[in-house]
Amino acid sequence: MHHCRVLVPLLLSATVLPFDTRAAASLLVDDASITDAHHCQLESWVRHTRDGQEWTAVPACTVADTEWSLGLTRLPGPPATQWSVGAKRVLVERQQRRWGLAASAGLGGTTHRPRGDDWTLTVPLTVALDAQDRVQLHLNLGWAQHAHVQGRTSGVGMEVVLHRHWSLLAESARDADRQRSSQIGLRRVLWPGASVDLLAGQVHHQRNTPWLTLGFNLAALP
């Protein structure tokens, strides 16, 4: 019941918060896992930049071994709404091995360009670097098209469990426009299935581009 009281208002907020076609959650680099079968989750975050605050909500559910997501983001400045629909499927599960592989595809646009001209294809690889699975390496390789820009995308991320409730997050990603961004921060587990992220990042070789992100991740019951 406690999960429902938290989840319902956040899911309702997703109808007015548009989405940026980046990796899921408040992270730049995706991992090779999906939500459990017939389960749903909500990833939401607010990112503060010098231009204002960017609000995002991404509910997702796994049906037919595929995770389906709808992302919405409200951008700062003039009213702007971004949307995205995505599908992600695990190709190699991490049950009997220390690595896993997945594939994801996304289609997006804005309220000014509702046709869905933006699309992404990404292959995430996750490798456990220790037997206890306390250190994970995430690698992304893909292709994206946004407006009049298209090109290869890539990313590398590290997740290190520091304590039962705390993890260190660090990552760097390159977009289709050949711009590289990096961020580092902490994740705090609130209770099983719920966590909060606090991240600081910046676009490389650009002045006045730092951001601070506060994210909330919630897994719901079936």
Q: Kindly report the CATH number assigned to the domain that includes residue 170.
A: 2.40.160.40
Q: Which residues have CB under 8 Å from 199's CB, separation 6+?
A: 26, 27, 169, 183, 184, 185, 212, 213, 215
* pLDDT score recorded for residue 221: 61
Beta bridge partners of 214: 46, 198
Least confident range from 18-22, 35-39, 112-116: namely 18-22
Express each pLDDT in 62-109 by its tens digit.
999 999 999 999 988 776 789 999 999 999 999 878 999 999 999 999
Q: What are the pLDDT digits (tens) for 160-217?
A: 999 999 999 999 999 999 999 999 999 999 999 999 999 999 999 888 899 999 999 9
* Torsion-angle region of 41 (φ positive above 0: left; ψ -120 to 50: alpha; else: beta): beta
- 220 pLDDT band, cuts 50/70/90, is confident
Half-sphere exposure of 48 (CA within 13 A, CB side): 6
- pLDDT at residue 79 in the model: 63
Residues in a beta bridge with 221: none
- Phi/psi of residue 177, each to 5°? -90, 10
Q: Are 82 and 19 in contact (CB under 8 A)?
A: yes
CB 180 within 8 A of CB 156: no
Question: Tokens at residue 147, please?
Answer: 């407006």
Task: Give Cα 40 to chain centroid, integer Å.
Answer: 15
Model pLDDT for residues 12-36, shown as the tens digit of each residue: 333 333 333 334 568 999 999 999 9
Domain limits for position 203: 2-220
What pLDDT score does 77 carry? 74
Taking the C-alpha atoms of residue 9 and residue 2, their distance in angstroms, rounded to an integer, is 12
Distance CA 65, CA 38 (A): 9
Helices (H) and strands (E) in the chain, counts: 1, 12
Measured from the Cβ of residue 117, the count of other Cβ atoms closer than 10 Å reads: 14
- For strand 135-146 and strand 194-203, is the pairing parallel, antiparallel, or unpaired? unpaired
**pLDDT, position 157:** 98
Check: CB of residue 54 under 8 Å from CB of residue 73.
yes
Domain count within the chain: 1
Q: What is the pTM of this model?
A: 0.86
